[in-house]
Structure 1
Amino acid sequence: MRVGFVVYGPLDGRSGGYRYDLELVRGLRAAGDEVTVISLPERPYRHRLRDNVTSLSRLRSLDVDVLLQDELCHPSLVGVNPRLGDDIPVVSVVHHLNSLENLGTFRRYIRRAIETRYLHSVDAFVFNSETTKETVSAVTDPDPSVVAYPAGDRFSEYGTPLDDEEIRARVAEGPLRLISVGNLEPRKNIDGLLRGLARVRDDWEVTVVGATVDDEYVVSLHDLVSELGVADRVTFAGRLSDEDLATALRQSHLFALPSHYEGFGIAAVEAMGFGLPALVSSAGGANELVTHREDGFLVDPTDPSAITDAVAPLCRDRELLTPLSLAARDRFVDHTTWDEMSTTVREFLVGLVS
C-alpha cells in the first residue's frame, strides 16, 4: 500500500500528536507499506491559510493509494481537498480540534468555521479516542472511522513497566515529586497546576518538562512562581531526551497535567508505565484512561483547589501512593501498544483502499 502523510514540520519524536504520527508511520513501514511524508511549513495560524496553493500542487503530484492528513494541518488543506478528486481516499488523523482551545470569541468562531469546512472535505477519520470522535460528530458525520488509542510503550528499553518492589521503595523518598510533560502553551494549564500546588502546605516539588511553544506564556509562568513564592520548588527543564525524561519519570511520584483539553493524553500513559498516578483534566478523553482515585485523579482544570485536594493528602500520608501507583502501572500494562495501534489503523486503511 502506498500512503501519503501530511504533517506540519519534521516528523520527529515530539510529544502528543507528533509522537502518534511518528509511531503510525513506523508501523506502516514495518508492515511493508511505502509511506511518503509531506511536511508543510509551521507558521502562525493566519499564515497557514496561504499554503493552500502550494499544498495543492504538492498533493496532486503524489502517486499514493490513500492520503493521511494530520488534522492539525487543516488551515493549509481546507481549500485543497475538494480539488484533489475522488480516486484517492483522504483520511484525517484527529488528535483534538483546534477550535476547542482557549481562544477569544471571534478567533474561535473563525477557526471553527475553517475547521468544520475542512472536516467536511475528508472521506474518513482516524481518532485517538472516543471523546475525540464525539467532538467531530458535533460538526460532521464521523464515519467511516476507526478509534486507535495512543500508546505509551516507547520507554520499554528504560525498564517500563516498573516492578512492584521499585514502586514500593520509591513511595516515601524525599518530598512529593510531581512531573508535568507537555509543550508549554496555555492549553496545558501549567499555571492552574502551579496555583493548586501553591496551596499545599506540605513538602512538594514539581519538574515541568516541555518545549516552549508560547514565549509570552512561559514568561508569565516564571512571573507566577515568583508571585506565588514557590520558585524554589519548581524546575523548568525544557525538552528532554528520552533517556533523561525516563530518568525524571522514574524518580517522580505523580504525573500532573490538568490541561484545559486533551483528546487523550499520551504523556499520561507513558508516566503510568513508571508507576505514576496521573492527575489530569476531566475535560477531554482522559476519562477513557484514568479512573478517579483508583489510578489517578480527574480534576476540573478551572478549579485549582481540586488540584490541592488531590495532592495534599498524598503529601501528608505517602502510603496512599502505593495502591495508586501499582494500579497506574497495571493500567499501563493493560493498555494498547504502538504496534497494536498501527495495526488497527492499517487494517482500516486497507479496507478503504480495497
Structure 2
Amino acid sequence: MAEPPPGSSTAVDSDDDPAGDGLAVALVVPGDPATTSGGFRYDRRLVAGLRATGATVRVFSVPWRRYPLAVLDAPGLATGVPDRLRDADVVVVDELAHASTWGLVRRLRRGGTPVVALVHHLRRAEGDRLAPVAARLERLFLAGSSAAVCVSDPTERDVRSLVDGIRTHVAPPPADQFDPAVVPADVDRRAREDPFRIVSLGSLVPRKGHPTLLRAVAGADADWRLAVVGPEPDPGHAREVRAIAADLGVADCVSFRGKLSTADLAAVLRESHVLAVPSEHEGFGMAYLEGMGFGLPAIASAAGGASSIVTEGENGFLVDPGDVGGVREALSALTGDRDRLARMGTAALRRFDAHPDWADTVAGVRDFLAEVADGG
C-alpha cells in the first residue's frame, strides 16, 4: 500500500454517511481517504460494501507524516477522541496509521469500544532500517486491538507472529476494477507477437523494485518494451529510476506512462505479455491479480502475500527482493518459449476467475465486525 500524501493536522470526519439500520462502524485512515492506491481503494470499496448491507460507516482521517514521525501525533490523538468514535459499535483502524493511533486504540478499548485493525501488510515486513522501530510500534498497536482483518493469508501469518493469540479474519480484496473479457485464444495469439511487452503496474516508489526490473531487462536476450504505469508521488525517486534507465542504455525501450484512466490502463494490460512488479514486499499484490484477468503471468515478490495469488511456474514466478538474476531468468523463460507463455497466461486467467466474489468478502467482514462488537 503506497504512502498517502500528508494529511491535516487534526483528525477529521471525512464523510457524512446517511444513517444505516444496523451496525455502526467508524473507519480511521491516515491522510486523504481518496488516495489512489490499491490499499486505499480497498478501504473505499469496503466502506461502500458495508453501507450496502445496512451498516452505518463514518470515515475519519488522521494526520500523515513520513514514517515514523507520525508517532508524534499519538498523544494528541489519544486524548482528543471524537465522540462519534466512542459511539460506534466497532472502530476499524487502517494499520498504516499504527504509529499515530496506537494510543488512541488503547484508549478506545479502555472505554469499552472494540477496535479492529485493518492490515494490508505490516510495515516491519519491508525489512529496511526502520523495520525494528516498526515492529515495536506495530506490536503496541496490534496488542491494543480487539482483533484484525487481514487481506491475505501471508499477512495474517505475519500478524499472528507479531502478536500471539490475536483473533483474525482474512478478507481478500476485489478484482473487479476491469472487465477484461480475455479468453485463452486471445492469450495464445498474443503470445506469438513481437516485441515482447512487459508492464509494471504500481506507484513509482522504492518499494516496488523498479531498479531491479530495469537491470534485469537491460540484460535480457530479446526484443522487449517496458511500460511503467502508476502515479509518481516521490519525484526524487522517479528521477533516479529514469536515470538508471538512461545509464543502462535502455531508455528508448522504457515508457513511463504515469497514472492512467481505467480504460487506458486496461488497453496497456490487454496488449502486454507479462506483468512484472518485483517489490520489496506486497501485502496482497492486487496488481498481479488484475494482470491475470488479462492473461498475464506475473513476475512477483516472494516476500509477502503474492504467494496467495502466484503459483511458481504455473501462472507466474516468485522472485526474492532485489534478485536481478531471478527476474531476468523468469523473463527469459517466457521470451524464449512462447508456448509456455501461452500456457501460463491461460493459467493466469483461471486464477483470476477463481478469485472470491467481493460480496462474499464484505459479508464475511461484516459478520466478523458484528461478532467483535458483541464481544464474541
What TM bracket, shorter-length normalisation? over 0.9
Provide closer, same or farther for how the CA distance between residues 220 and 252 of structure 1 changes in structure 2, counting only shifts above 3 A: same
CA shift for structure 1 position 202 = 0.8
Larger deviation: 299-308 or 264-273? Answer: 299-308
Confirm whether residue 335 of structure 1 aligns to residue 355 of structure 2. yes
Task: Find the counterpart in structure 1 of residue 15 from structure 2.
Answer: none
Percent identical among aligned pairs is 40
* Counterpart amino acid of residue 217 in structure 1: H
Provide closer, same or farther for how the CA distance between residues 80 and 13 of structure 1 changes in structure 2, counting only shifts above 3 A: closer
CA shift for structure 1 position 164 = 2.2
Confirm whether residue 258 of structure 1 aligns to residue 278 of structure 2. yes
SS state of the match for residue 40, structure 2? helix
**Structure with more contact order per residue of length (Cα contacts < 8 Å, sep ≥ 6):** 1
SS state of the match for residue 103, structure 2? coil
Cα distance in 2 for residues equivalent to 1:142 and 1:15: 30
Q: TM-score, normalised by structure 1?
A: 0.93
CA shift for structure 1 position 86 = 4.2
What do the CA deviations read for 1:50-95 (whole angstroms, capped 9, x no partner)? 3334534244443211100100001110221222234221000011
* Counterpart amino acid of residue 106 in structure 2: P
Cα distance in 1 for residues equivalent to 2:316 and 2:49: 30
CA shift for structure 1 position 161 = 4.3
What do the CA deviations read for 1:20-66 (whole angstroms, capped 9, x no partner)? 21121111011111110001233222442233345342444432111
Task: Find the counterpart in structure 2 of residue 136 from structure 1.
Answer: 159
Confirm whether residue 302 of structure 1 aligns to residue 325 of structure 2. no
Task: Find the counterpart in structure 2 of residue 95 from structure 1.
Answer: 120
Q: TM-score, normalised by structure 2?
A: 0.88
SS state of the match for residue 57, structure 2? strand
* Counterpart amino acid of residue 78 in structure 1: W
SS state of the match for residue 138, structure 1? helix
Q: How does 1:169-318 map to 2 (within 5 A)?
A: 169-318=189-338
SS state of the match for residue 180, structure 1? strand
Deviating above 4 A after TM superposition, structure 1's stretches of 4 or more consecutive aligned residues are none
Task: Find the counterpart in structure 1 of residue 183 from structure 2.
Answer: 163
Task: Find the counterpart in structure 1 of residue 62 from structure 2.
Answer: 40
Task: Find the counterpart in structure 1 of residue 94 from structure 2.
Answer: 70
CA contact (8 A) 1:161 1:333 kept: no
CA contact (8 A) 1:98 1:111 kept: yes
* Counterpart amino acid of residue 340 in structure 1: D
Task: Find the counterpart in structure 2 of residue 146 from structure 1.
Answer: 169
Task: Find the counterpart in structure 1 of residue 72 from structure 2.
Answer: 50
Task: Find the counterpart in structure 2 of residue 2 from structure 1.
Answer: 24
Confirm whether residue 126 of structure 1 aligns to residue 149 of structure 2. yes
Gaps of 5+ in 2: 1-22
Gaps of 5+ in 1: none
Provide closer, same or farther for how the CA distance between residues 350 and 61 of structure 1 changes in structure 2, counting only shifts above 3 A: closer
CA contact (8 A) 2:105 2:144 kept: yes
What do the CA deviations read for 1:134-180 (whole angstroms, capped 9, x no partner)? 11222212532101112312212xxx241223222222233111111
Cα distance in 2 for residues equivalent to 1:108 and 1:164: 43
What do the CA deviations read for 1:312-344 (whole angstroms, capped 9, x no partner)? 232233232111111100100001132222122
